[in-house]
Structure 1
Amino acid sequence: MFSHPDTTVSELRRTAFARRLPTELSELAGPARGTVGLTLHLAWFARALDAQGP
């Protein structure tokens, strides 16, 4: 990854993280019910979420 000398570490991390995420919600797919397990880089606060929850 090449960067401008003035680029901060947080900007580099934000750019790298953004590449791993879909650009539109329609790109997401998964179950309509049950528990969905998430990787740590997507959900550091909870590793599993209820698909029917808020």
Structure 2
Amino acid sequence: MRELLMLYVCGVILLLAISTTIGSEEDVGLDHIVIAAFGWPIFTSILAVKALKSR
């Protein structure tokens, strides 16, 4: 469980660090960046379950 939490925190930090390279002309708001940073584990697990069920 500790490794999973560490992976989640590293992913959030990585996404937030990458988001600082997005220019202001891209029309990507902070709310989109925060949703992407904190929501990726949920969405990837949903996609993984769907992929396993489709087999």
TM-score, normalised to structure 1, is 0.31
Bigger-Rg structure (1/2) = 1
User: More helix by proportion, 1 or 2?
Assistant: 2
Whose strand proportion is higher, 1 or 2? 1
TM-score by length of 2: 0.31
